[in-house]
Chain A
């Protein structure tokens, strides 16, 4: 089993934040495009 370490926690946090940020960026202006 992978033991949680502070570095792993930081890495997971960065990955999650990147994923959410990309999702938000992709959905940024959809509401402006709609009539």
Chain B
């Protein structure tokens, strides 16, 4: 009964907030009119949008089989990439304001003067983000099953309904403000679990109970190289995922970006250290018999920990935190996926559509994408399973190379931009199927994308400069 009341209160807050933040203009809906003046809100919403239920459940349980390297590599890459992302954020914000870019593909289009590149990137995002939504829905529906005892299908319907309401009414402002609240819940949940394990394991003595093989950097049942690749691939998202970059776009001024740059990495660090350590700490607090069922199904570890080591009642807070993690990611992804279709691809094909028309379409298409992903989650199609594990990495590779060089290197050209998009995408897919499984495809995508970008830019840069010089001579 308490769980139902908790959920009703949670939904009520979400609905009230999104109604208060309802938007009537396209710029307000996708960008919050660049008026968010609270650094903590942007910083923590960024963390909430980045970590999904997969990090909460999968990331928490994965340490059981991967051991110490998972904790060390994940903590390192998350903290390092979050810091780097926020060091770059000031420049990204200035650039988006200068070009009046409302989406990430638009930002790169204007930087490289390349509408074709924008459409290619938008298409890649549309495909891979929609695929990525499916497992998040699956996780969220399973969590609702655990929280209020509904069936999987009912859980799925509840998840779609909540996200669709606050997405369609409030757009980005609602996503950011609700994401902030969800982020606080997630941080509380993560710290509770971490602290609960320490107290169950007898404080710092917990380290003495953990077997040496678990603490070895050579990895437990998973080779450390594989763990390194996985940690790198997921945390690369922090640097370049469009659903996180739009949070930077929405800041009111550079001061807000600068202070959000403290809240973002700090919350990422707390959450990453707490959640990614759960798997190895469980060895110190639980018996081998208790852990045995989770060796095959690590995702079940976190809900089990919440039930066994925390005082009664706290497990619902943990489940709500995991649901928040899923919803904050879904809502941000739906927004960038939809705008890539409506504002980037459709506008390119039919430039005459008004802002009002695009706004209406963005609301409708967003809900449609949610429905498509949810229907796919009823019975996950086998064809998309391989795509899911690399989808975030591919998007991050495709955006990171042109974004980073676009910010810091003047000589990049549209040919380099398009070449890097195609090279990143194709090399990841090819390596995934035919490459050495010890080396993560995202490493290959990043290297191929960078090489293609440099080659394309240098090959065409001379011609572009000669043309410019000729123009200025003629002028």
Q: How far is the CA of A7 from the CA of B408 in the complex (A)?
A: 31
Minimum distance in angstroms from B442 CB to a CB of chain A: 14
The chain A residue sitting closest to B85, CB to CB, is A24
CB distance from B433 to the nearest CB of A (A): 24
Within 8 A of A (CB), among B203-223: 217-219
Q: Which B residues touch A23, using CB under 8 A? A: 408
Contact between chains at B80 and A17 (CB < 8 Å): yes
Binary interface profile of B, 216-246, with partner A (CB < 8 Å = 1, else 0)?
0111000011001000100000000000000
User: What's the Cα separation between A10 and B225 when bound, in Å?
Assistant: 11
Asked whether A7 lies within 8 Å of B217 as measured between CB atoms, the reply is yes
Which parts of A6-28 form the interface with B (CB within 8 Å)? 6-7, 9-10, 13-14, 17, 20-21, 23-25, 27-28
Q: Are B76 and A10 in contact (CB under 8 A)?
A: yes
Contacts of B228 in A (CB 8 A): 6, 9
Residues facing A in B78-130 (CB within 8 A) are 80, 83-84, 87-88, 90-91, 94-95
A27-B408, A28-B91, A31-B91 known; A10 vs B84 contact (CB < 8 Å): no
Alpha-carbon gap, A14 to B73, bound state (A): 11
**Mask of B44-76 contacts with A, CB within 8 angstroms, 1/0:** 000000000000000000000000010011001
Distance in Å from the Cβ of B83 to the closest Cβ of chain A?
Answer: 7
Instruction: Output the nearest chain B residue to A4 by Cβ-Cβ distance.
Output: B225
Q: Chain B 380-423, CB within 8 Å of chain A: the 1/0 string?
A: 00000000000000000000000000001000000000000000
A25 to B87, CA, bound (A): 7
User: Which residue from B77, B83, B91, B218 sits with its C-beta under 8 Å from A21?
Assistant: B83
Inside 8 A of B219's CB, which chain A residues have their CB?
Answer: 6
Contacts of A4 in B (CB 8 A): 225
B residues 133-183 with Cβ under 8 Å of A? none
The distance from the CB of A20 to the nearest CB of chain B, in whole angstroms, is 6
Separation in Å of the B118 CB from the closest CB of chain A?
22
Known contacts A10-B73, A31-B91: A24-B84 contact under CB 8 Å: yes
Please, how many angstroms separate the alpha-carbon atoms of A31 and B90 in the complex? 10
Q: Are A17 and B408 in contact (CB under 8 A)?
A: no
Cα A34 to Cα B69 in complex, Å, equals 44
- Using known A-B contacts A10-B73, A13-B77, determine if residue A28 contacts B218 with beta carbons closer than 8 Å: no
Q: Are A21 and B87 closer than 8 Å at their CB atoms?
A: yes
Q: Which residues of A contact B76 (CB under 8 A)?
A: 10, 13-14
Asked if B91 contacts A20 (CB within 8 A), the reply is no
Q: Of B73, B80, B90, B217, which one neighbours A28 at CB under 8 angstroms?
A: B90
Report which of B77, B88, B95 forms a contact with A24, defined as CB distance below 8 A: B88
Q: Closest CB of chain B to A10's CB: distance in Å?
A: 7
Bound complex: CA A23 to CA B94 (Å): 18
CB of A16, distance to nearest CB on chain B (Å): 9
CA–CA, A25 to B86, complex, Å? 11
Of B77, B94, B224, B232, the contact of A31 (CB 8 Å cutoff): B94
Closest chain A CB from B34 CB (angstroms)? 17
Question: A6-B224, A9-B228, A23-B408 in contact; A28/B77 too (CB < 8 A)?
Answer: no
When the two chains form their complex, are residues A6 and B84 in contact, meaning their CB atoms are under 8 A apart? Answer: no
A21, closest chain B residue (CB): B84
A14 to B90, CA, bound (A): 23
Given contacts A13-B76, A17-B84, A21-B84, contact A6 B218 (CB under 8 A): yes
Q: Which residue of A lies closest to B217 (CB)?
A: A6
Residues of B within 8 A of A31 (CB): 91, 94-95
The docked-state distance in angstroms from the alpha carbon of A21 to that of B351 is 40
Q: In the assembly, what is the distance between CA of A3 and CA of B94, in Å?
A: 44
**Closest Cβ of chain A: how far from B282's Cβ, in Å?**
21
CB pairs A–B below 8 angstroms (8 shown): A6-B224, A10-B73, A21-B84, A21-B87, A24-B408, A27-B408, A29-B90, A32-B94
Given contacts A7-B217, A28-B91, 12 further A-B contacts (CB under 8 A): A6-B217, A9-B225, A10-B72, A17-B84, A21-B80, A23-B408, A24-B84, A24-B87, A27-B408, A28-B87, A29-B90, A31-B95
**Which residues of chain A have a CB within 8 Å of any CB of chain B?**
4-7, 9-10, 13-14, 17, 20-21, 23-25, 27-29, 31-32
Q: For the complex of A and B, list the 10 residue pairs with the smallest distance between their C-beta atoms, beginning with the closest.
A: A6-B217, A6-B224, A17-B80, A24-B87, A27-B408, A9-B228, A6-B69, A31-B94, A24-B88, A21-B84
